[in-house]
Amino acid sequence: MRLGGRLAAAIEVLSDIESRHRPAADALKDWGQSHRFAGSGDRAVIGNIVYDALRRKRSATWIFDSSEPRALAVGALLLQWGMSPEAINEALEGDRFAPAPLSETELSLLSSRSLSDAPDEIRADCPDWCVPLAQEAFGEDWVSELQALSGRPPLDLRANTLLSSRERVLEAISSTGAAPGDYLVDAIRIPPIDGDGRHPNVQTSDEFKSGWFEVQDIGSQMAAALACVSHGMQVLDYCAGAGGKTLALSAAMKNSGQIFAHDAERQRLSPIFERLRRAGCRNVQAVTDDEALRALEGQMDLVLVDAPCTGSGTWRRRPDAKWRLTEKQLDTRVSEQSSILETVKRFLKPGGRIAYITCSFFPQENAHRVASFLEANPDFTSMDPATLWQQTFREGSERARLSSEGMTLSPARTGTDGFFFAALQKRS
């Protein structure tokens, strides 16, 4: 397929997402299944256009005075791919599968409007209701922070030191553009790919199948590292899900001590067993029933709460979620977070810690939750984020946003997905 056919397909997928209010991944999958002639390269480029269109939805709508899928898809080529209107029209010309070239009206809108004149919430590609939340989280930098959250993400890997090393992984996948990541000795980064490029499918490599590395955003790796586990600890990963953090903790503990992996939704844990086997983790057991969970009360050095959250910090990877998210969903997540924090304190030994993590930048899910927990639980204190950062990463603390409640990572500041981390220590 040429660019025109791919653009037409992206417009079709965006219409489906809009009319049926469905996740982009589902709409793209369905399109692929009903258009078998399209190869994997075509599907990847169509995906790029769709995701870029969703990343820059408000900007494109403002420029074209239209939120029609066509405006969004063309907006992706202009705003994210850096194509000129002339280059787009040249690519569409003579392609019978392409949508109509840019009309005189569209061309005149493009020449008369500049995004630099647009209101902040448009340039930030931010839903209106999230603007005050972004302002509270990021202060005067909120527009540039949200712009960074509208970019393409890198592909990050964590070398699994139980079975390999960063050097060996880098050598094995040297053709992918992978390089050492910041902050952590195990982190690897393949930078974002521009235009119609796509990341290599590293999960099909023999090294991945042999457990040499995991796919994990460096922000998520940093959150696991900030939990500061050490040899022989007793750890409860209370919201373990598919086990991204569990595996990182297991490697950091060099297979010593015990990690208990729990999740309220048992089926969420199901991928963990195969992942643990592949990664050579032998210090993890799943805790799926109440009785086994009760036996852990008062026994834990650390409870990791990778809380259910809005995921606003991952909008680079899931831009469709940004436009589907509602204030009601935020309220629901907030009450779950409060309830989980209250529940998990019973598992701690005196002097034990809760590591509280979200992949959100909303203060309601982060500093506010920590502040209200501390107010209701005077036997807990928040560990100083600057000290934690220094102990864990040695340098670069100026890149995180530190507050008395915890620290926030973000694409603009730390080059990672958006994450919040707080350590809450129970008095001895």
Ligand X SMILES: C[S@@+](CC[C@H](N)C(=O)[O-])C[C@H]1O[C@@H](n2cnc3c(N)ncnc32)[C@H](O)[C@@H]1O
Could you tell me which residues are annotated as the binding site for S-adenosyl-L-methionine?
263, 290, 306
- CB 241 → ligand X: shortest distance, Å? 3
> If binding is defined by CB under 6 A, does position 268 make contact with ligand X?
yes
Q: Which of residues 296-315 bind ligand X (CB under 6 A)?
A: 306, 308
62 or 238: whose CB is closer to ligand X?
Answer: 238
For residue 92, report the phi and psi dihedrals to the nearest 5 degrees: -85, -25
Please work out, in degrees rounded to the nearest 5, the angle formed at the alpha carbon of residue 333 by the alpha carbons of 330 and 336: 150
245 or 426: whose CB is closer to ligand X?
Answer: 245
310 or 410: whose CB is closer to ligand X?
Answer: 310
Q: Which of 127, 219, 244, 418 is in the footprint of ligand X by CB under 6 A?
A: 244
> If binding is defined by CB under 6 A, does position 131 make contact with ligand X?
no
- CB 73 → ligand X: shortest distance, Å? 31
Q: Are 312 and 130 in contact (CB under 8 A)?
A: yes
CB environment 266-278: b (16+ within 10 A), e (fewer): eeebeebeebbeb
Residue nearest to ligand X (CB): 244
> If binding is defined by CB under 6 A, does position 240 make contact with ligand X?
yes
Q: Which stretch binds ligand X (CB under 6 A): 29-37, 147-155, 175-183, 259-267?
A: 259-267
Asked about 359 being catalytic, the answer comes back as yes
- Give the binding-site size for ligand X (rule: CB under 6 A): 16
Q: Which stretch binds ligand X (CB under 6 A): 26-34, 117-125, 240-248, 361-369?
A: 240-248
122 or 239: whose CB is closer to ligand X?
Answer: 239
Q: Which of residues 314-373 bind ligand X (CB under 6 A)?
A: 336, 340
48 or 416: whose CB is closer to ligand X?
Answer: 416
Q: Which of 110, 170, 242, 383 is in the footprint of ligand X by CB under 6 A?
A: 242
Active site amino acids: 359
Contact set with ligand X (CB under 6 A): 238-245, 263-265, 268, 306, 308, 336, 340
